[in-house]
Structure 1
Amino acid sequence: MEKFKEKLLTLRSEAEAVTAQADELEAKVKQLEGEHTAKNHELLSMQIRVKNLEEQLEKTEQKLRETSAKFNESDVKAEEAERKVGDLENVIMEKEQKNEALAEQYKTAKAELDEMGRQFDDL
C-alpha cells in the first residue's frame, strides 16, 4: 500500500508539473496570439497607408502631367508670340524707313514748291 501511495504521489506530482507546463504553454499561446493579432493590425494599417500613398502618388503624377502639358502649351504660345513680336518689329522698322523716305520726299517736294512759288512771284 505504501508503494501505491508513493506511486500516487509521484503521479500527482507529475500531473501537477504537466498541468503547470500546460498552463505556461497556454499563456505562451495567448501571448503569441496577441502578438499575431497586433502584427495583423499593424500589417493592415501599413497596407492602408501604402494604398493611400499610392493614391496620392497617382494624383500627384496626374497633376504633374497636366502641369507639364500646360507648360508645354504655354511654351509654344510664348514662342509664337516671340515670332509675332519679331515680325511686328520688322514691320515697324520697314514703316519707319518708309516714313523717313516719305518725309524726305515731302521736304524735297515742299522745297521745290516753295522755289516754284518764289519764281512765280518774281514773274
Structure 2
Amino acid sequence: MDKFKEKLASLREEVIAAETRASTAETEVKRLHDEQTQKDHEITSLKNKLSLVENDLEKAETRIAEAKLNLDEGETSKTVGEGLARKVSLLEAELDSAERNLRETTEKLRQMDIKAEHFERKVQQLENDRDTYERKVEDLTTKYNGIKLELDETLKSLEDL
C-alpha cells in the first residue's frame, strides 16, 4: 500500500504540477490571445492609416499634376502675355506716331485755313478792284464814244465847210 500511496502522492503531485502548468499555459494562452487581439487591432488601425496615407498620396499626386498643368498653362499665359505686351508697346508707339502726325496735320490744316482766308480776302479785294476798274473802263468807254462822236461830228462839220 505504501507504494500505492506513494504512487497516489506522486500522481497528485503530477496532477498539481499539471494543473499548475495547465493554469500557467491557460494564462499564457489568454495573454497571447489578448496580445493577438491587440495586434489585430493594431494591424486594422495601421491598415486604416495606410489607406488614409494612400488617399493623401493620390490627392497629393493629383495636386502635383494640376500644379504642373497650371505651371505649363502659366508659362503659356506668360508667353502670350509677353507677346501681347510687345504688341501693346508697338501699338502705343504707332498711336504716339499717329497722334504726332495728327497734330502736325492739324497744324498744317490750320495754317492752310489761315492762308485760304488770306487769299479769299485778297480775291475779294481784287474782285472789288476789278469791278471798280470795269466801271471806270465803262465810264471812260462811254466818254470816249461820246468824245469820238463829237469829234466825228466836228470833223464832218469841218469837211462840210
Place the TM-score, normalised by the shorter chain, in its bin.
0.7 to 0.9
Give the structure 2 partner of residue 54 of structure 1: 92
Query: Which stretch has the larger CA shift, 50-59 or 112-121?
Result: 112-121
TM-score by length of 2: 0.62
From 99, 105, 109, the equivalent of 1:67 is: 105
Q: Does 1:88 align with 2:126?
A: yes
Structure number with greater Rg is: 2
Hey, what does 1:110 align to over in structure 2? Answer: 148
The 1:43–1:120 alpha-carbon spacing in structure 2 relative to 1, beyond 3 Å, is same
Give the letter for the 2:77 counterpart: K
TM-score by length of 1: 0.78
Corresponding residue SS for 1:66: helix
Give the aligned partner of residue 30 of structure 1: 68
> What is the distance in 2 between the residues matched to 1:108 and 1:18?
127
Distance of aligned partners of 1:108 and 1:34 in 2 relative to their CA distance in 1, 3 Å threshold: same
- Asked if residue 6 in structure 1 is aligned to residue 47 in structure 2, the reply is no
Aligned residue in 2 for 1:76 = 114
Q: Alignment partner of 2:100: what SS?
A: helix
- Tell me the CA shift for residue 61 of structure 1: 0.9
Aligned-partner Cα distance in 2 for 1:118–1:25? 130
Question: Aligned-pair distance for 1:26?
Answer: 2.2
Q: Secondary structure at the match of 2:112?
A: helix
Mapped to 1, the partners of 2:95 and 2:72 lie a distance apart of 34
- Could you tell me which amino acid in structure 2 is paired with residue 115 of structure 1? E
Task: Tell me the percent identity.
Answer: 34
Residue 43 of structure 2 aligns to which amino acid in structure 1?
E
How many residue pairs match? The answer is 123
Taking only aligned residues, the RMSD between alpha carbons, in angstroms, comes to 2.6
Distance 1:22 1:121 in 2: 139
Separation in 1, partners of 2:99, 2:159:
87
What is the letter of the counterpart of residue 6 of structure 1? I
Q: Could you tell me which of 133, 137, 140 is aligned with 1:99?
A: 137
- What CA distance in whole angstroms lies between the structure 2 residues aligned with 1:13 and 1:121? 151
Secondary structure of the corresponding residue to residue 105 of structure 1? helix
